[in-house]
Amino acid sequence: EVQLVESGGGLVQPGGSLRLSCAASGFTFSSYWMSWVRQAPGKGLEWVANIKEDGSERYYVDSVKGRFTISRDNAKNSLYLQMDSLRADDTAVYYCAREVRVYKCQDFWGQGTLVTVSS
Amino acid sequence: DIQMTQSPSSLSASVGDRVTITCQASQDINTYLNWYQQKPGKAPNLLIYDASNLKTGVPSRFSGSGSGTDFTFTISSLQPEDIATYYCQQYDNLPPFTFGQGTELEIK
């Protein structure tokens, strides 16, 4: 059974940093692109970033470029999102998701972790 | 970036009704269009990928169609458990893979 479990969310002050983790199981993690998607309270979904199977390609939405870094450790079956220079509008539930490139979709999602940026 | 315009933003229908949601892309995205269902407090769940392909295990009352810039998502006979917000998402060649604004579906 495919499982994705996010952790690392919490309350952080503006300008601060946070590192999210996503533990994957039930599939060959190193064979899939992985994504982060976020959802601000009461709002819609926003694709944030993704990373290729071997980590050699990474893409970001413009609003997080230069502040967020997506990475992965295939030996640990884990995906990460390092978030620096956090702003109030980064407040959201952050989901990790598995991508199926051949079908161009995100077929499994974690339960999400809440990040709150507030003083 | 490709913009996705989804309508309506909310919809009220009765059990057994046929429900239709539309999504329009700002440029040609071939059939690279997905539909997700999100129930309150839960993660999104993929229903349809590549415009018209049903994910394994998803009930056949859900369907999708379209190509290019115009897409349609249909529930043939609305069930109480279908109450959720539905999102389209384009997955053209380059990120960001933008979502529509969402359609909140409620039972009349």
Angle at A43 between CA A37 and CA A47, to 5 degrees: 20
Distance CA B18, CA B4 (A): 23
pLDDT of residue A55: 96
pLDDT in tens, B16-75: 999 999 999 999 999 999 999 999 999 999 999 999 999 999 999 999 999 999 999 999
Is B1 an interface residue toward A (CB < 8 Å)? yes
Of B50, B87, B95, the CB nearest to A44: B87
Is B52 an interface residue toward A (CB < 8 Å)? no
Q: Quick one: average pLDDT of A66-92?
A: 98
Q: Which pLDDT band, with edges at 50, 70 and 90, does B93 fall under?
A: confident
Tell me which residue has tokens 């982060």: A36
Task: Compute, in degrees rounded to 10, the torsion defined by CA atoms A96, A106, B35, A102.
Answer: 170
